[in-house]
Homo-oligomer: A and B are copies of this chain.
Amino acid sequence: MSRSVTVGVDFGGTNIKVGCVTPRGRVVRRLVLPTRAHTTPETFLDGVEGAIARLCAALTIRRSQVRGVGVGVAGLVDGSRGVIYRLVNVPGGWEGVALRRLLERRLRCPCAIENDVNAVALGEWRFGAGRGTRHSVYVTLGTGVGGGLVVDGKLVRGIAGTAGEIGHTGVRLNGPRCACGRRGCLEAFVGTAGIVRRARQAIRAGNRPLERLAARHGGRLSPELVSRAARAGDRAAREIWQEVGCYLGAALANVVNLLSPERIVIGGGVAGAWPWFRGRLRATVRELAFAVPARACQIVRAQLGDDAGIIGGAMLVEEGR
Contact = CB atoms under 8 A, between A and B. Distances in A.
Interface of A: 76, 85, 133-135, 147, 149, 151-152, 154, 156-166, 168-173, 180, 182, 250, 253-255, 257-262, 288-290, 292-293, 295-297
A160 B157 CA distance: 22
Contact of A159 (B85, B134, B288): B134
How often does this chain occur in the complex, in copies? 2
B164 A258 contact: yes
B260 A163 contact: yes
A173 B85 CA distance: 34
Given A135-B159, A173-B172, A288-B182, A149 B293 contact: no
Given A151-B151, A151-B156, A258 B255 contact: yes
Contacts of A166: 257-258
20 contacts: A76-B290, A85-B292, A133-B159, A135-B159, A147-B258, A149-B259, A151-B156, A162-B257, A162-B292, A163-B258, A164-B258, A165-B290, A165-B293, A166-B258, A169-B257, A169-B258, A170-B250, A182-B288, A254-B254, A258-B258
Contact of A165 (B135, B152, B258): B258
Given A170-B253, A290-B168, A297 B182 contact: no
Given A158-B259, A160-B293, 6 more contacts: A158-B296, A159-B296, A163-B258, A165-B258, A168-B289, A182-B288
A122 to B, nearest CB: 15
A265 B260 CA distance: 21
